[in-house]
Amino acid sequence: MMRQVKGKTPRRPPPKKPLSNQKDPVGVYCRVRPLDFEDEECCIEVISSTTIQLHAPEGFKTNRNGEYKETQYSFKKVFGVSVSQRELFEHVAKPLVDDLIHGKNGLLFTYGVTGSGKTFTMTGSPGQGGLLPRSLDMIFNSIGSFQAKRYVFKTDDKNGMDVQSEVDALLERQRRENSLSAPKTLSSRQKLDPEIADMIMQEEAFKAEGVDEDCSYSIFVSYIEIYNNYIYDLLEETQEDAIKPKWNGGGTPVRQNTEFIPPQSKILREDQNHNMYVAGCMEVEIKSAEEAFQVFWRGQKKRKVANTRLNRESSRSHSVFIIKLAQAPLDADGDNVLQDKNQVTVSQLCLVDLAGSERTGRTGAEGTRIREAGNINQSLLNLRTCIEILRENQMCGTNKMVPYRDSKITHLFKNYFDGEGRVRMVVCVNPNAGDYEETLLVMRFAEMTQEVEVARPADRPICGFTPGRRYRNQAFKEELSRKLEERGGPIDRDVPSVINHLVHSLPPLPSCELTDPHDDITLPRLIEALQNRHRVRQMMIEDYNKAANMMKSMLQELDNNLISRDNFIQEQNGKLTEKYKIIQNNKAEIERLEKKNKMQEHKIDILQKTAKIYEDDKRSLQQELETRDQRLQRELSEKRRMEQRMHGVVSDTQLKWEKECERRVNAMQLEMQNKLWVKDEKLKQLKAIVTESKTPGRPDPPLRQTKPQAKSQPQSQSQPQPQSQSQQPSREERLPTKRSASPSPLPTTTPVRPLHRRSRSAGGEKWVDHKPTSSMDLGTVLQPVIPNAIQVSAPSEKALSKCDKYVLTHQEIASDGEIQTKLIKGDVIKTRGGGQAVQFTDIETLKQELATVPSRKRKSSEGAPANGDQKDGAWTDVETRCAVAVEMKAGSNMGPGYEHHGITKRRKP
């Protein structure tokens, strides 16, 4: 059993490569429109036929030094404000129409800022037709007598063209005429729309040269617009406003036949030759310029326009008018179109009116207009990007991918930049100073576009048939009709009349009535008459053959003469073409040299001016340098004098301060010696007092035991205070505490019950007393007491919901090593979610201070009882005794244990 072979997908043919290796740069032309008002400020000046200059308007500074910068831009040709539409067409579009008729493609588009005259340049107005109507008029003026009958050429909906016989075309015409109830035909110019009537004067008409007379032609047009990066067909009968389609109550498009169906966006496809085309776009076959105007204007009325601040009828979409010319050679007889699809040549000319770039701030656009302006600017930016990458690939030899697919307008025309076809651009500018910045960007893009090269289109292949077939066939028919007129009448009669005339020219037949079966006269007479007629017919045939042979020999002789003349003419044309190419090259070289010469002269002038400025600057700088040198020398001499003077002053000041410092040091040493001597004397007296207090037989005073121990500090005699153990808050506002009187240093003092003071927070408010479990009991007398409080070791939502105040007891080690207690207070507030939060308001600090150990008291020598019930006045503390210094002379034998008279402490002089 044989396994069935699986079919394979056919391999896609490679992309079409340009047949010609020669390339031409993109032709860029500039047209300057006139100002709306004569008093407006102008920023553009036409210097020559190929150069314009931009002046920055007042208030617009382009250099850092504040000077105005003037820039020049060169084009293939510059058209001023006074140029006519006819002159513009002759230089820009006429060569493209010639290429179209000779089977070559072309692309022409207008580019510029909104309101710069692009639509007027492309369309025109009555009496001033633009590039598009003049192109149509020139096409039909050139091929009008060579057009094929309608439907001989037929599109195949795949960007191709089929050819059918005249019989099939006649049947299709009848079928379509019968299907249309009221066919639309144009009989004269009077039936045209008044807005496009008489757009071209008869004296301004053009006609192409070198039209192939042995071909049959047919024109097809289509009109599309690219709106918001969507493609719409302007020639569809159901095409309406795509911005606001009709909708039903449910918010969905209505699909019934009685309502409007929103137009669907067309898609781009690629044919078998890798050419891009709009699938499903209507292509209308036209037979006259008037009919073409009518079709164009029907689609022009459906194009999206809007009123903006800069333009009353601003185009909101890119419009593309495609003229497709189908041509095929005639057969060998020169009567009918050759029935071979491969011999059909299709060329097209695309006329593109780009929407103008705009800034929404200047146009005052809102809503839909902003979205339209954004899409327009984005598509133009993609066009600039593609042109820039193409230029980079061609100049630098890189192979970067050109982003044609980012925009419909670039994707549609990628074949013109990658394949064959002449590309031209008309840059329209508005000299108004308000458009200076946008015009500057347009000029830069145009300058970059001129550096892109496109492959030159190849010539159409020559058919193998003998040229001049159409006219030779017509001449043969005319000569035949003349001969027939000489023989028997005009050729334009119908066939029965010609036959009757030939019958009457023959000998008449005798009477053929037979009355007797044995009649031997009638039949021989009839036979003789028929033989005479046959003889005459043979003579006529011989004469006709002779005339035909003579005519053929004459035609052959004429053909030979024509062929020889055609060969001679072709040779001469070849020579003329070579001479013309040489002349064109010389002209181009001359123009280049003239341009280079002008640029060099301009550079020389600039360099001379710059050199003069530099010389002036050099002289002024030299003078300034000499002046500064003199000033510097004076300053240096002055500085040396100042240094000498300051050196003397510094020396004097240094000597003076050395003496003053020595004096101060001596004084300070003397003062410190006196202080040390005084301290030594005090220590000696203190030692004597301590030694005296330790005499045997005197009891020591009882000591009060405290938890922390500290050294006793001497107190001033004027302010004696008892020392005790206590805690003192650091702020004036304190929590309520239980206070007690300080214990007396004497054992006979009775403690007094302290009075309780009501705290400020002991009112009707409830407190949450938060004491952590890690807190230590210091065992002091004074402790904070908070009545009406809930004591917790950790705060809870239940406890906080019942109280208004909150206090936290926090213990930490102070800088002196003792325990310091902080009371952190706050208010309990309710949150929106139903919970409680604490807002802290105050912090109180309770610091523990250590009381000094009670010093030993010495019993007074006068009237002191011997028992232990002494009074306070019988004891004198160390601090009181040390308030009076005892001065002893050096080397004295008086010890601290001896009684002596006190000498008042010597004061500092």
Give the DSSP per-residue string, 298-359.
HHHTTS-EE--SS-TTEE-SEEEEEEEEEEEEB-TTSSSB---GGG-EEEEEEEEEPPPB--
Please indicate if the annotation marks 7 as binding a ligand: no
Q: Is residue 556 part of a domain?
A: no
Please indicate if the annotation marks 792 as binding a ligand: no
Is pLDDT at 229 greater than 80 in this prediction? Answer: yes
Find the helix or strand (DSSP H, E) in which 565 lies.
helix 522-693
Give the tokens for residue 256: 């019934």
Instruction: State the pLDDT at residue 685.
Output: 86
Q: What is the C-alpha to C-alpha distance for residues 68 and 398, in angstroms, rounded to an integer? A: 37
Give the tokens for residue 227: 């709106």
Would you say 843 and 826 are in contact if contact means Cβ atoms under 8 Å apart? no
Q: How far apart are the first and last CA of the chain?
A: 140
Instruction: State the pLDDT at residue 797.
Output: 83
Say if residue 590 is in the same domain as residue 445.
Answer: no
What domain range is 607 assigned to? 580-636
Q: What is the C-alpha to C-alpha distance for residues 906 and 909, in angstroms, rounded to an integer? A: 9
Q: Is residue 415 part of a domain?
A: yes
Burial class (CB in 10 A: 0-12, 13-18, 19+), 751: exposed
Is pLDDT at 717 greater than 90 in this prediction? Answer: no
Give the number of domains in the chain: 3
Give residue-wise pLDDT tens across range 730-773. Answer: 433 343 333 333 333 333 333 444 444 444 444 568 888 888 88
Q: Is residue 313 part of a domain?
A: yes
For 137, residues 6+ apart whose C-beta sits below 8 A from its C-beta are 129, 200, 205, 206, 289
Mean pLDDT across 873-885: 42
Instruction: State the pLDDT at residue 374.
Output: 75
- CATH number of the domain that residue 832 is part of: 2.60.40.4330
- Name the residue with tokens 């006519």: 84
Q: What is the C-alpha to C-alpha distance for residues 726 and 737, in angstroms, rounded to an integer? A: 12
Closest by Cα among 230, 233, 214 to 295: 233
How many other C-beta atoms are found inside a 10 Å radius of the C-beta of residue 550?
10
Q: What is the C-alpha to C-alpha distance for residues 847 and 403, in angstroms, rounded to an integer? A: 81
Please indicate if the annotation marks 117 as binding a ligand: yes
Please indicate if the annotation marks 334 as binding a ligand: no
Q: Is residue 320 part of a domain?
A: yes
Instruction: State the pLDDT at residue 15.
Output: 53
Mean pLDDT across 877-882: 44
Q: Is residue 886 part of a domain?
A: no
Q: Model pTM?
A: 0.52
Please indicate if the annotation marks 610 as binding a ligand: no
Please indicate if the annotation marks 118 as binding a ligand: yes
- Name the residue with tokens 């013309």: 580
- Where among 569, 604, 636 does a domain terminate? 636
Q: Is residue 137 part of a domain?
A: yes
Is pLDDT at 837 greater than 90 in this prediction? Answer: no
Give the tokens for residue 833: 């979610």
Is pLDDT at 696 greater than 70 in this prediction? Answer: no
For 353, residues 6+ apart whose C-beta sits below 8 A from its C-beta are 109, 110, 118, 119, 122, 123, 315, 318, 319, 321
pLDDT band (50, 70, 90) for residue 331: confident
* Separation in Å, CA 171 to CA 339, 483, 870: 17, 35, 156
For 702, residues 6+ apart whose C-beta sits below 8 A from its C-beta are 747, 854
In the chain, what's the furthest Cα-to-Cα distance?
Answer: 223
State whether the Cα torsion 862-868-870-872 is positive or negative.
Answer: positive
Total residues belonging to the chain: 909
* Separation in Å, CA 353 to CA 306, 316, 560: 16, 11, 50
Is pLDDT at 704 greater than 90 in this prediction? Answer: no
Give residue-wise pLDDT tens across range 425-457. Answer: 999 998 888 888 888 888 989 988 998 988 887
- Where among 847, 863, 887 does a domain terminate? 847
For 197, residues 6+ apart whose C-beta sits below 8 A from its C-beta are 126, 189, 190
Q: What percent of the chain has pLDDT over 90?
A: 24
Question: Mind giving me the DSSP string for 646-685?
Answer: HHHHHHHHHHHHHHHHHHHHHHHHHHHHHHHHHHHHHHHH
Read off the amino acid at residue 884. V
Please indicate if the annotation marks 112 as binding a ligand: yes
Q: Is residue 360 part of a domain?
A: yes
Q: What is the C-alpha to C-alpha distance for residues 385 and 383, in angstroms, rounded to an integer? A: 5
pLDDT band (50, 70, 90) for residue 646: very high
pLDDT band (50, 70, 90) for residue 787: confident
Read off the amino acid at residue 631. R
Instruction: State the pLDDT at residue 829.
Output: 87
Closest by Cα among 154, 172, 105 to 344: 154
Q: What is the 3-state secondary structure (H, E, C) of 684-739?
A: HHHHHHHHHHCCCCCCCCCCCCCCCCCCCCCCCCCCCCCCCCEEEECCCCCCCEEC
Would you say 90 and 77 are in contact if contact means Cβ atoms under 8 Å apart? no
Instruction: State the pLDDT at residue 367.
Output: 56
Helix (H, G, I), strand (E, B) or coil at 573: helix
Find the helix or strand (DSSP H, E) in which 795 lies.
none
Give the tokens for residue 245: 């389609």
Give residue-wise pLDDT tens across range 537-591. Answer: 888 888 888 888 888 888 888 888 888 888 898 889 889 889 989 999 999 999 9
Read off the amino acid at residue 303. R
Find the helix or strand (DSSP H, E) in which 8 lies.
none
- Name the residue with tokens 């010890």: 895
Instruction: State the pLDDT at residue 614.
Output: 93
Give residue-wise pLDDT tens across range 457-481. Answer: 777 666 656 677 777 777 777 777 7
Mean pLDDT across 603-631: 93
Q: Beta strands 318-329 and 215-227: pairing type?
A: antiparallel
Please indicate if the annotation marks 546 as binding a ligand: no
Most confident of 33-47, 103-117, 371-385, 623-637: 623-637
Q: What is the C-alpha to C-alpha distance for residues 884 and 879, in angstroms, rounded to an integer? A: 10
pLDDT band (50, 70, 90) for residue 198: low
Average pLDDT, the chain: 75
- Where among 568, 602, 636 does a domain terminate? 636
Q: What is the 3-state secondary structure (H, E, C) of 494-546?
A: CHHHHHHHHHHHCCCCCCCCCCCCCCCCHHHHHHHHHHHHHHHHHHHHHHHHH
Give residue-wise pLDDT tens across range 83-137. Answer: 999 999 999 999 999 999 998 999 999 998 888 888 899 988 887 889 999 999 9
- Name the residue with tokens 């004459």: 554
Q: What is the 3-state secondary structure (H, E, C) of 234-293?
A: CCCCCCCCCCCCCECCCCCECCCCCCCCCCCCEEEEECCCCCEEEECCCCEEECCHHHHH
Find the helix or strand (DSSP H, E) in which 554 lies.
helix 522-693
Mean pLDDT across 164-193: 66
**Helices and strands: H and E segment counts in the chain:** 16, 32
Instruction: State the pLDDT at residue 305.
Output: 65
Closest by Cα among 779, 778, 780, 782 to 757: 782
Would you say 322 and 360 are in contact if contact means Cβ atoms under 8 Å apart? no
Q: Beta strands 161-163 and 276-279: pairing type?
A: unpaired
- Name the residue with tokens 């007129």: 485
Q: What is the dihedral of CA 427, 606, 68, 436, to 10 degrees?
A: 0
- Name the residue with tokens 């496109």: 454
Q: Beta strands 345-353 and 23-25: pairing type?
A: unpaired
Bridge partners, residue 503, by sequence: none
Higher pLDDT, 674 or 741: 674
Would you say 827 and 841 are in contact if contact means Cβ atoms under 8 Å apart? yes
Closest by Cα among 907, 905, 903, 900 to 688: 900
Q: What is the C-alpha to C-alpha distance for residues 641 and 341, in angstroms, rounded to an integer? A: 109
Helix (H, G, I), strand (E, B) or coil at 224: strand
- Name the residue with tokens 């496009």: 196
Q: Is residue 45 part of a domain?
A: yes
Helix (H, G, I), strand (E, B) or coil at 559: helix
- CATH number of the domain that residue 296 is part of: 3.40.850.10
Q: What is the C-alpha to C-alpha distance for residues 604 and 700, in angstroms, rounded to an integer? A: 119
Closest by Cα among 711, 703, 706 to 816: 711
Find the helix or strand (DSSP H, E) in which 219 lies.
strand 215-227
pLDDT band (50, 70, 90) for residue 326: very high
- Name the residue with tokens 């982003």: 403
Is pLDDT at 482 greater than 80 in this prediction? Answer: no
Closest by Cα among 876, 883, 852 to 862: 876
pLDDT band (50, 70, 90) for residue 677: very high
